[in-house]
Chain A
């Protein structure tokens, strides 16, 4: 399988503070990789570097074999991002927001793309609604539509189902599974929902204090650490005074 994301020994320092301490990993085509770790472990910094919002202090990032540092625009055309911490302009209608972002990503058949996403994400009846007036679940689906408007090869998800009720959360997870299978995209998923990670991810990276402290398939990690589920593994690793501390 081809690697769509290749991260080679990236570090990020803020002054003397080392936020990310030289991590490397790959994400294959048609793979969802989970990025786990307690708050402040370096997950958001890592995602920021993958999005070109943060410049690594050292190390290299390749997306679809293109070096991020030298091909920022070309790479941004093929990736997208969703996070509960960023929003779409609240005063615009859903349709206007999707249209604007379709233009920014130079989508060719905008109407067809919006129609497709509306149907898949069940937001057809919301298209003329004001974005700021939607419920959390509706906003989440609209943000996901925006994140897929450019048919990304790589999707970065930062807690995509945080604050969603179980029904909407399940809908989003099922959608992501199906979409990944259909389009063969790579997904990097940062989440604190261990059930979600177990269900969606082929493998996971456990981060702590800016380092990868363990990685592998969820079932392998559970067996390796002698626990019954991934949440217990997470708690064990995040509470342990490892050699990295």
Chain B
């Protein structure tokens, strides 16, 4: 692995973001709107239902966590799509970069993109709604880390599809998170889902992450088991995504997708 090459690819996206005010605005705008909207919904439920009476920040906290996941996943896909849109894809794949270097660079860049959007949104929650996500304590770090890994995993899976099937896979890239969201139990407990859906939800890390966030905020207790299961499933899907990316890269070399990607 070459840090110089990883830094080089990071720079390509860093220059792109910093050169364009609309791009920075786009990164900050959506999370802030999303959090503001969920903040008001959260306030409404806090005063009109008993379930959240003891924890007014539950919905908003889950909204922030979900947005982080969404931004990480979409951010990763965007980095890959940028290369296709700018017809730079071939240049990138004829540069002497290892797959691991490309992925590492995109993983770091996606994190920075997500944080650019998330930090202002988090800062908004305290003065506007009197809620701090820091109430999750030290476990906030583990929940964010878990979401970050899963977001990156989804990004790598979608990028594998782009490599294998070309730009026609772009629409799938945008819809992945929406497909998984119902099974993630982001705003409701898993018992809300029909039994068959619960079985699907239990093999995703999301349900453990959001169940644990609610557990900490509502019951003021920590269930380490949830954190453990989230990381276990994350490790499984992450390894699977890396293997699939390598498989797709080789399949693209057989099929010729790499040379036709920009056309």
Give the interface of A toward B (CB within 8 A): 14, 44-45, 48, 51-55, 73-74, 76-77, 79-81, 83, 85-93, 96, 99-106, 146
What 1/0 flags go to B5-23 for Cβ under 8 Å of A? Answer: 1011101100110011000
Instruction: Give the distance to chain A from B115, nearest Cβ to Cβ, in Å.
Output: 21
A89 close to B253 (CB less than 8 A): no
B88 close to A88 (CB less than 8 A): yes
Within 8 Å by CB of B256, from A48, A88, A89, A102, lies: A48
Contacts of A96 in B (CB 8 A): 11, 15
Within 8 Å by CB of B253, from A53, A80, A102, lies: A53
A45-B259, A55-B253, A74-B96 known, 14 other contacts, Cβ within 8 Å: A48-B258, A53-B253, A55-B250, A55-B254, A80-B94, A87-B86, A87-B87, A88-B88, A92-B16, A92-B19, A100-B12, A103-B8, A104-B92, A106-B96
A102 to B9 CA separation, bound complex (whole angstroms): 11
Within 8 Å by CB of B4, from A51, A73, A103, lies: A103
Instruction: Give the distance to chain A from B8, nearest Cβ to Cβ, in Å.
Output: 3
A48 close to B15 (CB less than 8 A): no
Instruction: Pull 14 A–B residue pairs with CB atoms less than 8 Å apart, ordered by A.
Output: A45-B256, A86-B262, A87-B87, A87-B262, A89-B12, A89-B86, A91-B15, A92-B12, A99-B11, A100-B9, A104-B5, A104-B96, A105-B95, A106-B2
Q: Does B199 contact A (CB under 8 A)?
A: no
Instruction: Give the distance to chain B from A49, nearest Cβ to Cβ, in Å.
Output: 9
Instruction: Give the distance to chain B from A58, nearest Cβ to Cβ, in Å.
Output: 12
Q: Does B220 contact A (CB under 8 A)?
A: no
Given contacts A86-B87, A103-B8, contact A81 B94 (CB under 8 A): yes
A76 close to B256 (CB less than 8 A): no
Within 8 Å by CB of A54, from B15, B98, B259, lies: B259
A150 to B130 CA separation, bound complex (whole angstroms): 55
Number of A-B residue pairs with CB-CB distance less than 8 Å in the complex they form: 108
Contacts of A52 in B (CB 8 A): 94, 253
Contacts of B20 in A (CB 8 A): 91
A14 to B259 CA separation, bound complex (whole angstroms): 14
A53 close to B86 (CB less than 8 A): no
Contacts of B5 in A (CB 8 A): 103-104, 106
Within 8 Å by CB of A89, from B7, B16, B98, lies: B16
A54 to B255 CA separation, bound complex (whole angstroms): 8
A135 to B207 CA separation, bound complex (whole angstroms): 53
Contacts of A55 in B (CB 8 A): 250, 253-254
B15 close to A92 (CB less than 8 A): yes
B88 close to A89 (CB less than 8 A): yes
Within 8 Å by CB of A73, from B82, B90, B96, lies: B96
A96 to B255 CA separation, bound complex (whole angstroms): 33
A53 close to B259 (CB less than 8 A): yes
A62 to B205 CA separation, bound complex (whole angstroms): 46
B90 close to A86 (CB less than 8 A): yes
Within 8 Å by CB of A14, from B15, B16, B92, B255, lies: B255
Nearest CB in chain B to that of A12: its residue: B256
Q: Does B263 contact A (CB under 8 A)?
A: yes
Contacts of B2 in A (CB 8 A): 106
Residues of B94-136 at the interface with A, using a CB-CB cut-off of 8 Å, are 94-98
Q: Does B44 contact A (CB under 8 A)?
A: no
A105 to B91 CA separation, bound complex (whole angstroms): 11
Nearest CB in chain A to that of B23: its residue: A91
B258 close to A54 (CB less than 8 A): yes
B97 close to A104 (CB less than 8 A): yes
Residues of B44-78 at the interface with A, using a CB-CB cut-off of 8 Å, are none
